[in-house]
Amino acid sequence: MRILIVEEQVLCSEMLREILSAQPGLRVVATARTAAAAEALLEREGVDVVLLDLLLPDRSGLELIGALAARGSRARLVVCSAMNHRAAIATAFSLGAHAFVPKTATLAELIDTLRTRRRVEIENVTVAEEDVSFRLPRQLVA
């Protein structure tokens, strides 16, 4: 599985690259610190998964998700962010994200989520306006 990491913090990005690339079947093909760099890389690199933060310096990860979905990107969009407000999570899913992993999750949960080919959602987060419910990453939604 080819992964693009979109993470502003260099240390976090480098740690994720090292850890994920050491996992059988996972290969980080590129990293980007901005949404613009991610879009440029996606034009050149074939990736299966975009692992992205919502807090990016040039524009929000939510905007990037929307742009990639609008372009018809076939990559699974997996959000890994400390910004775990209900509205942000619901917006990420409504724009085309396939999974949300909070930065408080374990490494095993992140890896399981990356390997999962179906949509993964988070439990006990409900957005009344949109009536969206989320489940734990271990529970899969077809």
pLDDT in tens, 61-98: 999 999 999 988 889 999 999 887 888 888 999 999 99
CB 26 within 8 A of CB 51: no
Structure pTM?
Answer: 0.82
- Is residue 116 scored above 70 in pLDDT? yes
- Is residue 30 scored above 50 in pLDDT? yes
- Is residue 134 scored above 80 in pLDDT? no
The tokens describing 139, both together, are: 């529970």
Share of the chain above pLDDT 70, in %: 82
Strands 119-120, 140-141: pairing kind: antiparallel
Res 120: pLDDT: 54
Task: Average the pLDDT over each of 30-34, 102-106, 115-119 and give the range with the smallest value.
Answer: 115-119
Q: What is the pLDDT confidence band of residue 117, given thresholds at 50, 70 and 90? A: low
